A and B are shown apart, each in its own frame.
Chain A
Amino acid sequence: MKGNEALGEAALRAGCRHFFGYPITPQTELSAYLSKVMPKVGGTFLQAESEIAAINMVLGAASAGVRAMTSSSSPGISLKCEGISYIAGSDLPCVIVNVQRGGPGLGGIQPSQADYWQATRAPGHGDLHAIVFAPSTVQEMVDIVFRAFDKADEYRMPSMILADGMLGQMMEPVEFPEREVHKVEKPWATNGHKGERKHNIVNSLFLQPQQLEDKVKERFARYDLVKQNEVLAEEYLTEDADIVLVAYGASSRISRSAVNSAREKGIKAGLIRPITLWPFPEKNIQAACKTAKAFLTVEMSMGQMVDDVRLAVNGARPVYFYGRTGGIIPSPAEVLGQIEEISGGVK
Protein backbone atom coordinates (compact mmCIF):
# COMPACT_ATOMS: atom_id res chain seq x y z
CA MET A 1 0.00 0.00 0.00
CA LYS A 2 1.21 3.51 -0.77
CA GLY A 3 2.09 5.69 2.20
CA ASN A 4 -0.57 8.23 1.27
CA GLU A 5 -3.27 5.56 1.07
CA ALA A 6 -2.15 4.05 4.35
CA LEU A 7 -2.58 7.45 6.02
CA GLY A 8 -6.13 7.61 4.67
CA GLU A 9 -7.11 4.09 5.75
CA ALA A 10 -5.58 4.63 9.19
CA ALA A 11 -7.55 7.86 9.62
CA LEU A 12 -10.79 5.97 8.91
CA ARG A 13 -9.86 3.29 11.41
CA ALA A 14 -9.03 5.95 13.97
CA GLY A 15 -12.60 7.12 13.75
CA CYS A 16 -12.10 10.09 11.43
CA ARG A 17 -15.31 10.65 9.47
CA HIS A 18 -14.65 14.19 8.30
CA PHE A 19 -11.97 14.93 5.76
CA PHE A 20 -11.52 18.20 3.91
CA GLY A 21 -8.78 18.59 1.33
CA TYR A 22 -7.54 20.09 -1.85
CA PRO A 23 -5.36 18.10 -4.28
CA ILE A 24 -1.62 18.67 -4.51
CA THR A 25 1.27 16.43 -5.53
CA PRO A 26 2.70 14.40 -3.81
CA GLN A 27 -0.15 13.83 -1.30
CA THR A 28 -3.11 13.47 -3.67
CA GLU A 29 -3.51 9.69 -3.23
CA LEU A 30 -4.58 10.34 0.38
CA SER A 31 -7.54 12.46 -0.73
CA ALA A 32 -8.27 10.13 -3.63
CA TYR A 33 -8.38 7.13 -1.30
CA LEU A 34 -10.69 8.79 1.20
CA SER A 35 -12.96 10.11 -1.57
CA LYS A 36 -13.65 6.47 -2.50
CA VAL A 37 -13.97 5.03 0.97
CA MET A 38 -15.43 7.81 3.13
CA PRO A 39 -18.92 7.77 1.54
CA LYS A 40 -19.15 4.00 2.14
CA VAL A 41 -18.83 4.46 5.89
CA GLY A 42 -21.23 7.39 6.04
CA GLY A 43 -18.49 9.97 6.50
CA THR A 44 -17.93 13.34 4.89
CA PHE A 45 -15.30 13.72 2.20
CA LEU A 46 -15.21 17.19 0.79
CA GLN A 47 -12.86 18.60 -1.82
CA ALA A 48 -12.88 22.25 -0.88
CA GLU A 49 -12.37 25.19 -3.23
CA SER A 50 -8.96 25.87 -1.68
CA GLU A 51 -6.59 24.81 1.06
CA ILE A 52 -7.77 27.75 3.15
CA ALA A 53 -11.38 26.64 2.89
CA ALA A 54 -10.39 23.08 3.77
CA ILE A 55 -8.59 24.01 7.00
CA ASN A 56 -11.50 26.24 8.06
CA MET A 57 -13.88 23.34 7.47
CA VAL A 58 -11.64 21.31 9.77
CA LEU A 59 -11.99 24.10 12.34
CA GLY A 60 -15.76 23.89 12.03
CA ALA A 61 -15.91 20.11 12.25
CA ALA A 62 -13.49 20.03 15.19
CA SER A 63 -15.63 22.63 17.00
CA ALA A 64 -18.49 20.16 16.84
CA GLY A 65 -16.31 17.57 18.57
CA VAL A 66 -15.67 15.13 15.72
CA ARG A 67 -12.35 13.79 14.53
CA ALA A 68 -11.39 15.88 11.50
CA MET A 69 -8.42 15.80 9.17
CA THR A 70 -6.90 17.67 6.26
CA SER A 71 -3.84 16.96 4.18
CA SER A 72 -1.67 18.85 1.76
CA SER A 73 1.90 19.41 0.67
CA SER A 74 4.22 22.28 1.46
CA PRO A 75 2.74 25.24 -0.51
CA GLY A 76 -0.74 24.13 0.55
CA ILE A 77 0.30 23.98 4.21
CA SER A 78 1.48 27.60 4.00
CA LEU A 79 -2.04 28.50 2.94
CA LYS A 80 -3.46 26.58 5.89
CA CYS A 81 -1.30 28.36 8.46
CA GLU A 82 -3.92 30.96 9.29
CA GLY A 83 -6.49 28.25 10.00
CA ILE A 84 -4.01 26.21 12.05
CA SER A 85 -3.42 29.26 14.24
CA TYR A 86 -7.17 29.73 14.75
CA ILE A 87 -7.53 26.03 15.59
CA ALA A 88 -4.72 26.26 18.15
CA GLY A 89 -6.18 29.51 19.50
CA SER A 90 -9.56 27.83 19.88
CA ASP A 91 -8.06 24.77 21.63
CA LEU A 92 -9.39 22.40 19.00
CA PRO A 93 -8.02 18.94 18.18
CA CYS A 94 -7.42 17.89 14.58
CA VAL A 95 -4.84 16.13 12.39
CA ILE A 96 -2.99 17.89 9.59
CA VAL A 97 -0.81 15.93 7.18
CA ASN A 98 2.06 17.56 5.31
CA VAL A 99 3.63 15.36 2.61
CA GLN A 100 6.55 17.72 2.06
CA ARG A 101 7.90 18.72 -1.34
CA GLY A 102 10.69 21.07 -2.37
CA GLY A 103 10.30 24.80 -1.68
CA PRO A 104 10.16 27.73 -1.24
CA GLY A 105 7.30 29.05 -3.36
CA LEU A 106 5.76 26.44 -5.61
CA GLY A 107 9.21 24.85 -5.47
CA GLY A 108 9.16 21.35 -6.92
CA ILE A 109 7.19 18.18 -6.41
CA GLN A 110 9.97 15.84 -5.30
CA PRO A 111 10.51 14.84 -1.65
CA SER A 112 11.86 17.39 0.80
CA GLN A 113 12.12 18.12 4.53
CA ALA A 114 12.36 21.88 4.30
CA ASP A 115 9.19 22.60 6.31
CA TYR A 116 10.69 21.58 9.67
CA TRP A 117 10.92 25.15 10.90
CA GLN A 118 7.37 25.87 9.82
CA ALA A 119 6.02 22.73 11.52
CA THR A 120 7.94 23.06 14.78
CA ARG A 121 8.31 26.83 15.14
CA ALA A 122 5.47 28.60 13.41
CA PRO A 123 2.63 26.52 12.02
CA GLY A 124 0.68 29.78 12.32
CA HIS A 125 0.99 33.20 13.92
CA GLY A 126 1.00 33.66 17.67
CA ASP A 127 2.30 31.66 20.62
CA LEU A 128 1.37 28.14 19.62
CA HIS A 129 2.51 24.62 18.95
CA ALA A 130 1.26 21.57 17.15
CA ILE A 131 2.45 18.10 18.16
CA VAL A 132 4.58 17.14 15.17
CA PHE A 133 5.07 13.48 14.27
CA ALA A 134 7.63 12.23 11.75
CA PRO A 135 7.02 8.67 10.53
CA SER A 136 9.73 6.85 8.60
CA THR A 137 7.92 3.81 7.22
CA VAL A 138 4.48 3.18 5.78
CA GLN A 139 3.67 0.99 8.78
CA GLU A 140 4.71 3.73 11.17
CA MET A 141 2.48 6.19 9.32
CA VAL A 142 -0.47 3.98 10.23
CA ASP A 143 0.49 3.76 13.89
CA ILE A 144 1.11 7.48 14.11
CA VAL A 145 -2.27 8.44 12.66
CA PHE A 146 -3.96 6.75 15.64
CA ARG A 147 -1.60 8.44 18.06
CA ALA A 148 -1.97 11.83 16.37
CA PHE A 149 -5.75 11.77 16.81
CA ASP A 150 -5.52 10.51 20.39
CA LYS A 151 -2.99 13.13 21.46
CA ALA A 152 -4.81 15.94 19.68
CA ASP A 153 -7.97 15.03 21.60
CA GLU A 154 -6.14 14.56 24.88
CA TYR A 155 -4.38 17.94 24.78
CA ARG A 156 -6.93 19.83 22.69
CA MET A 157 -4.41 20.93 20.11
CA PRO A 158 -3.59 20.23 16.46
CA SER A 159 -1.36 17.28 15.56
CA MET A 160 0.72 17.44 12.42
CA ILE A 161 2.13 14.45 10.58
CA LEU A 162 5.23 15.64 8.77
CA ALA A 163 5.93 13.15 5.98
CA ASP A 164 7.56 13.70 2.61
CA GLY A 165 7.04 12.76 -1.03
CA MET A 166 9.11 9.63 -0.71
CA LEU A 167 7.09 8.20 2.17
CA GLY A 168 3.81 9.28 0.57
CA GLN A 169 4.55 7.68 -2.79
CA MET A 170 6.33 4.52 -1.75
CA MET A 171 4.66 1.17 -1.23
CA GLU A 172 5.57 -1.09 1.65
CA PRO A 173 3.75 -3.95 3.32
CA VAL A 174 1.43 -2.66 6.01
CA GLU A 175 -0.79 -4.21 8.66
CA PHE A 176 -3.80 -2.62 10.27
CA PRO A 177 -4.02 -4.12 13.73
CA GLU A 178 -7.42 -4.13 15.37
CA ARG A 179 -7.40 -1.09 17.57
CA GLU A 180 -9.92 0.44 19.79
CA VAL A 181 -10.88 3.99 18.91
CA HIS A 182 -10.35 6.05 22.02
CA LYS A 183 -13.41 8.05 22.88
CA VAL A 184 -12.52 11.32 24.55
CA GLU A 185 -15.26 13.29 26.24
CA LYS A 186 -15.59 16.71 24.65
CA PRO A 187 -17.87 18.68 26.92
CA TRP A 188 -16.71 21.89 25.21
CA ALA A 189 -18.06 20.89 21.79
CA THR A 190 -20.62 23.07 20.07
CA ASN A 191 -22.77 20.21 18.88
CA GLY A 192 -26.30 21.32 19.59
CA HIS A 193 -28.44 20.46 22.64
CA LYS A 194 -31.61 22.38 21.86
CA GLY A 195 -31.04 24.76 24.76
CA GLU A 196 -31.01 21.91 27.31
CA ARG A 197 -27.59 22.81 28.62
CA LYS A 198 -25.52 25.97 28.83
CA HIS A 199 -24.24 26.81 25.38
CA ASN A 200 -20.55 26.40 24.52
CA ILE A 201 -18.44 28.96 22.72
CA VAL A 202 -15.44 28.12 20.57
CA ASN A 203 -13.44 31.27 19.94
CA SER A 204 -9.92 32.55 19.48
CA LEU A 205 -10.61 36.28 19.91
CA PHE A 206 -9.78 37.77 23.33
CA LEU A 207 -9.54 41.54 23.24
CA GLN A 208 -8.61 41.96 26.90
CA PRO A 209 -4.82 41.44 27.11
CA GLN A 210 -5.03 39.89 30.57
CA GLN A 211 -7.65 37.43 29.43
CA LEU A 212 -5.57 36.51 26.39
CA GLU A 213 -2.38 36.13 28.40
CA ASP A 214 -4.20 33.83 30.84
CA LYS A 215 -5.51 31.75 27.93
CA VAL A 216 -2.09 31.45 26.32
CA LYS A 217 -0.45 30.58 29.66
CA GLU A 218 -3.03 27.89 30.31
CA ARG A 219 -2.26 26.51 26.85
CA PHE A 220 1.47 26.56 27.51
CA ALA A 221 0.94 24.66 30.75
CA ARG A 222 -0.58 21.94 28.56
CA TYR A 223 2.37 22.24 26.16
CA ASP A 224 4.66 21.56 29.14
CA LEU A 225 2.76 18.34 29.81
CA VAL A 226 3.19 17.38 26.16
CA LYS A 227 6.93 18.02 26.46
CA GLN A 228 7.10 15.87 29.60
CA ASN A 229 4.98 12.99 28.38
CA GLU A 230 4.88 12.72 24.62
CA VAL A 231 8.46 12.76 23.34
CA LEU A 232 9.19 9.81 21.05
CA ALA A 233 12.49 8.78 19.52
CA GLU A 234 14.18 5.62 18.32
CA GLU A 235 17.83 4.93 18.93
CA TYR A 236 19.95 2.64 16.79
CA LEU A 237 23.43 1.51 17.85
CA THR A 238 23.94 4.62 19.98
CA GLU A 239 25.22 2.89 23.16
CA ASP A 240 28.86 2.91 22.10
CA ALA A 241 28.70 5.35 19.18
CA ASP A 242 31.48 7.84 18.58
CA ILE A 243 29.47 9.59 15.89
CA VAL A 244 25.74 9.95 16.42
CA LEU A 245 23.61 10.79 13.43
CA VAL A 246 20.31 12.58 13.97
CA ALA A 247 17.73 12.26 11.21
CA TYR A 248 13.96 11.87 10.84
CA GLY A 249 11.60 10.48 8.21
CA ALA A 250 13.06 9.57 4.82
CA SER A 251 16.56 10.79 5.68
CA SER A 252 16.62 8.60 8.80
CA ARG A 253 16.31 5.52 6.56
CA ILE A 254 19.24 6.68 4.45
CA SER A 255 21.20 7.49 7.60
CA ARG A 256 20.50 4.04 9.03
CA SER A 257 21.94 2.45 5.88
CA ALA A 258 24.99 4.73 6.20
CA VAL A 259 25.39 3.77 9.89
CA ASN A 260 25.43 0.08 8.91
CA SER A 261 28.06 0.72 6.24
CA ALA A 262 30.16 2.76 8.69
CA ARG A 263 30.00 -0.08 11.25
CA GLU A 264 31.22 -2.51 8.57
CA LYS A 265 34.21 -0.22 8.12
CA GLY A 266 34.87 -0.21 11.85
CA ILE A 267 33.51 3.27 12.55
CA LYS A 268 31.26 3.36 15.61
CA ALA A 269 28.28 5.27 14.25
CA GLY A 270 24.75 5.36 15.66
CA LEU A 271 21.44 7.03 14.90
CA ILE A 272 18.88 8.96 16.92
CA ARG A 273 15.61 9.18 15.01
CA PRO A 274 13.18 11.72 16.45
CA ILE A 275 9.61 10.45 15.99
CA THR A 276 8.17 13.59 17.54
CA LEU A 277 9.81 16.75 16.19
CA TRP A 278 7.86 18.93 18.60
CA PRO A 279 8.39 18.11 21.37
CA PHE A 280 11.97 17.41 20.32
CA PRO A 281 13.81 14.48 21.99
CA GLU A 282 16.51 16.68 23.52
CA LYS A 283 17.09 14.26 26.41
CA ASN A 284 18.10 11.52 23.96
CA ILE A 285 20.60 13.89 22.39
CA GLN A 286 21.96 14.97 25.79
CA ALA A 287 22.30 11.37 26.93
CA ALA A 288 24.21 10.53 23.74
CA CYS A 289 26.74 13.27 24.58
CA LYS A 290 28.17 10.86 27.18
CA THR A 291 29.69 8.61 24.52
CA ALA A 292 29.43 10.61 21.32
CA LYS A 293 32.41 12.62 20.13
CA ALA A 294 30.41 14.37 17.42
CA PHE A 295 26.91 14.63 15.97
CA LEU A 296 25.89 14.64 12.33
CA THR A 297 22.41 15.83 11.40
CA VAL A 298 21.13 14.66 8.02
CA GLU A 299 18.15 16.36 6.41
CA MET A 300 16.58 16.97 3.04
CA SER A 301 16.91 20.72 3.60
CA MET A 302 19.62 23.34 4.02
CA GLY A 303 19.70 22.56 7.76
CA GLN A 304 16.70 23.16 10.02
CA MET A 305 16.42 20.39 12.62
CA VAL A 306 20.16 20.86 13.18
CA ASP A 307 19.18 23.96 15.20
CA ASP A 308 17.35 21.77 17.71
CA VAL A 309 20.28 19.36 17.85
CA ARG A 310 22.65 22.27 18.55
CA LEU A 311 20.32 23.61 21.25
CA ALA A 312 20.23 20.20 22.93
CA VAL A 313 23.99 19.64 22.63
CA ASN A 314 24.55 23.20 23.86
CA GLY A 315 28.12 23.40 22.70
CA ALA A 316 29.26 20.23 24.46
CA ARG A 317 30.16 18.46 21.20
CA PRO A 318 30.64 19.53 17.58
CA VAL A 319 27.44 19.25 15.52
CA TYR A 320 27.89 18.75 11.78
CA PHE A 321 25.25 18.96 9.09
CA TYR A 322 24.74 17.27 5.77
CA GLY A 323 21.75 17.89 3.55
CA ARG A 324 20.43 17.92 0.02
CA THR A 325 17.51 20.07 -0.94
CA GLY A 326 15.17 20.93 -3.79
CA GLY A 327 13.79 17.39 -4.04
CA ILE A 328 17.08 15.51 -4.07
CA ILE A 329 17.34 12.52 -1.76
CA PRO A 330 20.85 12.06 -0.36
CA SER A 331 22.38 8.65 -1.00
CA PRO A 332 23.68 6.42 1.80
CA ALA A 333 27.13 6.69 0.14
CA GLU A 334 27.10 10.50 0.46
CA VAL A 335 26.20 10.25 4.16
CA LEU A 336 28.85 7.57 4.69
CA GLY A 337 31.39 9.94 3.13
CA GLN A 338 30.46 12.56 5.73
CA ILE A 339 30.76 10.03 8.57
CA GLU A 340 34.20 9.00 7.34
CA GLU A 341 35.32 12.61 7.10
CA ILE A 342 34.15 13.40 10.64
CA SER A 343 35.62 10.14 11.92
CA GLY A 344 39.01 11.11 10.47
CA GLY A 345 38.77 14.43 12.29
CA VAL A 346 37.72 13.21 15.73
CA LYS A 347 40.10 10.26 16.06
Chain B
Amino acid sequence: MAGINMVFAGFGGQGILFTGKVCAYSGLMEEKEVSWLPSYGPEMRGGTANCSVCISDEPIGSPLVLTPDALIAMNIQSYDKFIGAVVPGGVAVVDSTLVDKKTDRDDIKAFYVPATQMANDLQLQGLANIILLGKLLKETGFASMEAVEKALAKCVPPRKQHLLEPNMRAIKAGMEA
Protein backbone atom coordinates (compact mmCIF):
# COMPACT_ATOMS: atom_id res chain seq x y z
CA MET B 1 0.00 0.00 0.00
CA ALA B 2 1.65 3.21 -1.17
CA GLY B 3 -0.91 5.37 0.56
CA ILE B 4 -4.54 5.97 1.41
CA ASN B 5 -6.48 9.22 1.58
CA MET B 6 -9.58 9.27 3.75
CA VAL B 7 -12.43 11.56 4.71
CA PHE B 8 -14.38 11.23 7.95
CA ALA B 9 -17.61 13.23 8.03
CA GLY B 10 -20.67 13.65 10.21
CA PHE B 11 -22.17 15.91 12.87
CA GLY B 12 -20.05 17.72 15.43
CA GLY B 13 -20.20 15.57 18.57
CA GLN B 14 -20.19 12.19 16.86
CA GLY B 15 -16.47 11.83 17.38
CA ILE B 16 -15.59 12.37 13.75
CA LEU B 17 -12.35 14.26 14.44
CA PHE B 18 -11.40 11.71 17.10
CA THR B 19 -11.98 8.84 14.67
CA GLY B 20 -9.71 10.51 12.13
CA LYS B 21 -7.10 11.07 14.79
CA VAL B 22 -7.11 7.38 15.79
CA CYS B 23 -6.76 6.48 12.13
CA ALA B 24 -3.83 8.88 11.62
CA TYR B 25 -2.07 7.66 14.78
CA SER B 26 -2.49 4.06 13.54
CA GLY B 27 -0.42 5.03 10.51
CA LEU B 28 2.10 6.78 12.74
CA MET B 29 2.48 3.61 14.85
CA GLU B 30 3.60 1.86 11.66
CA GLU B 31 6.04 4.70 10.99
CA LYS B 32 4.19 5.93 7.92
CA GLU B 33 3.88 9.55 6.87
CA VAL B 34 0.54 10.83 8.17
CA SER B 35 -1.51 14.02 8.22
CA TRP B 36 -4.82 15.01 9.83
CA LEU B 37 -6.62 18.13 8.72
CA PRO B 38 -9.92 19.13 10.36
CA SER B 39 -12.65 21.39 9.11
CA TYR B 40 -12.75 24.28 11.57
CA GLY B 41 -14.83 27.30 12.39
CA PRO B 42 -18.61 27.72 12.67
CA GLU B 43 -19.36 24.39 11.02
CA MET B 44 -17.70 22.68 13.98
CA ARG B 45 -20.20 24.11 16.42
CA GLY B 46 -23.18 21.78 16.10
CA GLY B 47 -23.02 21.67 12.31
CA THR B 48 -21.19 19.26 10.11
CA ALA B 49 -17.64 18.25 10.94
CA ASN B 50 -15.16 16.49 8.76
CA CYS B 51 -11.49 15.73 8.59
CA SER B 52 -9.01 14.55 5.99
CA VAL B 53 -6.51 11.86 6.93
CA CYS B 54 -3.61 10.74 4.74
CA ILE B 55 -1.39 7.72 5.43
CA SER B 56 1.46 7.25 3.00
CA ASP B 57 4.90 5.78 2.43
CA GLU B 58 5.91 9.07 0.77
CA PRO B 59 5.89 12.64 2.13
CA ILE B 60 2.32 13.91 1.96
CA GLY B 61 1.55 16.63 -0.59
CA SER B 62 -1.84 18.17 -0.08
CA PRO B 63 -3.29 17.11 3.28
CA LEU B 64 -6.72 18.20 2.05
CA VAL B 65 -8.52 15.18 0.63
CA LEU B 66 -10.98 16.10 -2.11
CA THR B 67 -11.28 12.66 -3.70
CA PRO B 68 -11.03 10.07 -0.93
CA ASP B 69 -9.98 6.45 -1.34
CA ALA B 70 -12.14 5.78 1.71
CA LEU B 71 -15.03 7.59 3.35
CA ILE B 72 -16.88 7.31 6.64
CA ALA B 73 -20.22 9.16 6.53
CA MET B 74 -22.29 9.59 9.68
CA ASN B 75 -25.10 11.83 8.47
CA ILE B 76 -27.10 12.54 5.32
CA GLN B 77 -25.39 15.88 4.62
CA SER B 78 -21.96 14.28 4.69
CA TYR B 79 -23.12 11.34 2.64
CA ASP B 80 -24.58 13.65 -0.01
CA LYS B 81 -21.48 15.85 0.00
CA PHE B 82 -18.83 13.14 -0.31
CA ILE B 83 -20.29 9.96 -1.82
CA GLY B 84 -19.81 11.27 -5.36
CA ALA B 85 -16.20 12.24 -4.61
CA VAL B 86 -15.00 8.75 -3.63
CA VAL B 87 -12.52 7.54 -6.22
CA PRO B 88 -13.59 4.61 -8.44
CA GLY B 89 -12.67 1.42 -6.62
CA GLY B 90 -12.80 3.27 -3.30
CA VAL B 91 -14.59 2.32 -0.10
CA ALA B 92 -17.52 4.06 1.60
CA VAL B 93 -18.66 3.08 5.10
CA VAL B 94 -22.03 4.60 5.96
CA ASP B 95 -23.89 4.64 9.28
CA SER B 96 -27.19 3.24 7.99
CA THR B 97 -29.00 4.03 11.25
CA LEU B 98 -28.63 7.71 10.37
CA VAL B 99 -28.42 7.63 6.58
CA ASP B 100 -31.36 5.91 4.87
CA LYS B 101 -29.90 6.20 1.39
CA LYS B 102 -27.91 3.85 -0.80
CA THR B 103 -25.69 4.93 -3.63
CA ASP B 104 -26.38 3.81 -7.17
CA ARG B 105 -22.66 3.98 -7.93
CA ASP B 106 -21.42 0.52 -8.81
CA ASP B 107 -17.77 1.56 -9.17
CA ILE B 108 -17.20 1.89 -5.41
CA LYS B 109 -17.52 -0.56 -2.54
CA ALA B 110 -20.22 0.80 -0.23
CA PHE B 111 -20.91 -0.75 3.14
CA TYR B 112 -23.99 0.12 5.19
CA VAL B 113 -23.43 -0.54 8.88
CA PRO B 114 -26.17 0.34 11.39
CA ALA B 115 -23.45 1.54 13.73
CA THR B 116 -25.55 3.81 15.97
CA GLN B 117 -28.06 1.00 16.50
CA MET B 118 -25.28 -1.52 17.11
CA ALA B 119 -23.64 0.81 19.62
CA ASN B 120 -26.91 0.95 21.58
CA ASP B 121 -27.49 -2.81 21.39
CA LEU B 122 -23.94 -3.65 22.47
CA GLN B 123 -23.81 -1.15 25.35
CA LEU B 124 -21.22 0.82 23.40
CA GLN B 125 -23.08 4.13 23.46
CA GLY B 126 -21.16 6.90 21.75
CA LEU B 127 -18.88 4.49 19.92
CA ALA B 128 -20.72 4.25 16.59
CA ASN B 129 -17.77 6.14 15.11
CA ILE B 130 -15.32 3.47 16.28
CA ILE B 131 -17.57 0.67 15.00
CA LEU B 132 -17.42 2.31 11.58
CA LEU B 133 -13.65 2.65 11.91
CA GLY B 134 -13.50 -1.10 12.56
CA LYS B 135 -15.40 -1.73 9.32
CA LEU B 136 -13.09 0.66 7.47
CA LEU B 137 -10.09 -1.16 8.91
CA LYS B 138 -11.40 -4.49 7.66
CA GLU B 139 -12.25 -3.22 4.19
CA THR B 140 -9.15 -1.10 3.53
CA GLY B 141 -6.49 -2.43 5.89
CA PHE B 142 -5.27 1.13 6.47
CA ALA B 143 -3.16 -0.26 9.35
CA SER B 144 -2.69 -3.40 11.41
CA MET B 145 -4.99 -4.28 14.30
CA GLU B 146 -2.03 -3.90 16.65
CA ALA B 147 -1.35 -0.39 15.36
CA VAL B 148 -5.00 0.60 15.85
CA GLU B 149 -4.91 -0.68 19.43
CA LYS B 150 -1.76 1.33 20.14
CA ALA B 151 -3.32 4.38 18.49
CA LEU B 152 -6.44 4.10 20.65
CA ALA B 153 -4.32 3.84 23.78
CA LYS B 154 -2.57 7.03 22.66
CA CYS B 155 -5.74 8.95 21.75
CA VAL B 156 -7.89 8.01 24.75
CA PRO B 157 -6.93 10.53 27.45
CA PRO B 158 -5.07 9.13 30.50
CA ARG B 159 -8.00 9.75 32.85
CA LYS B 160 -10.32 7.82 30.51
CA GLN B 161 -8.16 4.73 29.95
CA HIS B 162 -11.04 2.54 31.20
CA LEU B 163 -12.72 3.38 27.87
CA LEU B 164 -9.98 1.58 25.94
CA GLU B 165 -11.63 -1.81 26.34
CA PRO B 166 -15.07 -0.72 24.98
CA ASN B 167 -13.28 1.06 22.12
CA MET B 168 -11.52 -2.16 21.19
CA ARG B 169 -14.82 -4.05 21.40
CA ALA B 170 -16.30 -1.44 19.05
CA ILE B 171 -13.46 -1.97 16.54
CA LYS B 172 -14.04 -5.72 16.62
CA ALA B 173 -17.83 -5.31 16.31
CA GLY B 174 -17.23 -3.13 13.26
CA MET B 175 -14.89 -5.65 11.70
CA GLU B 176 -17.49 -8.36 12.06
CA ALA B 177 -20.36 -6.19 10.80
Contacts and interface: CB of A to CB of B under 8 A. Distances in A.
B130 to A, nearest CB: 19
A173 interface: yes
Contacts of B41: 25-26, 109-110
Interface stretch (A163-171, A193-201, A337-345): A163-171
Contacts of B62: 253-254, 257, 329, 331-332
Interface string A151-193: 0000000000000011001111100000000000000000000
Interface stretch (B8-16, B31-39, B113-121, B162-170): B31-39
B66 A166 contact: no
A32 to B, nearest CB: 13
A169 B37 contact: yes
Contacts of B24: 171
A260 B31 CA distance: 23
A257 B40 contact: no
Contacts of A331: 62, 64, 66
A172 B35 contact: yes
Given A171-B21, A253-B60, A109 B40 contact: yes
Contact of A253 (B36, B38, B63): B63
Contacts of A253: 60-63
Contacts of A80: none
A331 B5 CA distance: 14
B34 to A, nearest CB: 6
Interface in A219-270: 253-254, 256-258, 260
B20 to A, nearest CB: 9
Contacts of A109: 40-41
Contacts of A165: 40
Interface string A55-72: 000000000000000000
B28 interface: yes
A253 B54 CA distance: 13
A170 B63 contact: yes
Interface in B24-78: 24, 28, 33-38, 40-41, 59-64, 66
Chain A interface size range: 20 to 34
A253 B64 CA distance: 10
A26 B33 CA distance: 24
B96 to A, nearest CB: 30
B64 A171 contact: no
B40 A26 contact: yes
Interface string B73-92: 00000000000000000000
Contacts of A257: 61-62
Contact of A169 (B33, B40, B60, B61): B40
A2 B37 CA distance: 9
B124 to A, nearest CB: 26
B100 to A, nearest CB: 31
A169 B59 CA distance: 18
Contacts of A332: 61-62
A329 B28 CA distance: 25
A166 B61 contact: no
Interface string A258-295: 10100000000000000000000000000000000000
Given A171-B21, A172-B34, A254-B61, A25 B28 contact: no
B39 to A, nearest CB: 9
Contacts of A171: 21, 24, 35-37
A161 to B, nearest CB: 19
Nearest to A331: B66
A169 B40 CA distance: 8
Nearest to B36: A171
B47 to A, nearest CB: 14
Contacts of B66: 331, 333
Contact of A329 (B21, B34, B64): B64
Nearest to A332: B62
Given A171-B21, A171-B24, A331-B66, A256 B38 contact: no
12 contacts: A25-B40, A109-B40, A110-B41, A169-B38, A170-B35, A170-B36, A170-B37, A170-B63, A173-B34, A253-B63, A254-B61, A254-B62
Given A109-B40, A172-B60, 19 more contacts: A25-B41, A26-B40, A109-B41, A170-B35, A172-B35, A172-B63, A173-B33, A253-B62, A253-B63, A256-B59, A256-B61, A257-B62, A260-B61, A329-B64, A331-B62, A331-B66, A332-B61, A332-B62, A333-B66
